[in-house]
Amino acid sequence: MQALLLIAHGSRRAESNDEVRTLTEDLKTRAGASYSIVRCAFLELAEPSIPDGIELCVKDGATEVVVLPYFLSAGRHVVTDIPNEVRGKQEEYPQVNIRIASYLGANAGIPDLLLASASVPA
C-alpha cells in the first residue's frame, strides 16, 4: 500500500498551514488508485512533524511512503533537513520503503505554470 506524504515548511500563520491541508485533500481526490494514503507533514511550526507524518502513514498500513517536498528551491531544507527527518523513521521501519521524491521547484512544468499565473490578478 503506497502513501504520499506532502512536506511543507510550516508557518506561524494558521491559514498557510490550512492551505497545505486543503491541497492535501485535493491531492487525495486526484491521486486515484496511485496512492491509497495521502497525508501532509510540516518541517517546523505546524503539526504533524515529518516523523509523525511517516508514523501515521505506517499505522494506516503503508508499505511504501513517497515523501514529496513542497518546496521551490533546493535549499538546506530540501537537501539536508528533510532527509535527516526521514532517516530515523527509515531505521525504525526497515520493512517500509521510504523514498524522497523530487521537490516541486525542479518540475519542468513550473515555467508554464508561472506564465499562466501571470495572467491572473492577485
The binder of a copy of itself chosen from 48, 64, 96, 106 (CB under 8 A) = 106
- Please check whether residue 3 is in contact with residue 64, taking contact to mean a CB–CB distance below 8 angstroms: yes
Binding to a copy of itself (CB under 8 A) within 32-51 occurs at: 34-35
Task: Provide the residue type at 79 as one letter.
Answer: V
**What letter does residue 102 receive in the DSSP assignment?**
P
- State yes or no: residue 102 binds a copy of itself (CB under 8 A): yes
Largest CA distance in the chain: 48
The binder of a copy of itself chosen from 6, 37, 43, 46 (CB under 8 A) = 6
The binder of a copy of itself chosen from 41, 54, 58, 66 (CB under 8 A) = 66
Compute the Cα dihedral for 26, 70, 119, 116 and give only its sign.
negative
- Rg of the chain taking only CA atoms, in angstroms: 15
- State yes or no: residue 1 binds a copy of itself (CB under 8 A): no
- State yes or no: residue 94 binds a copy of itself (CB under 8 A): no
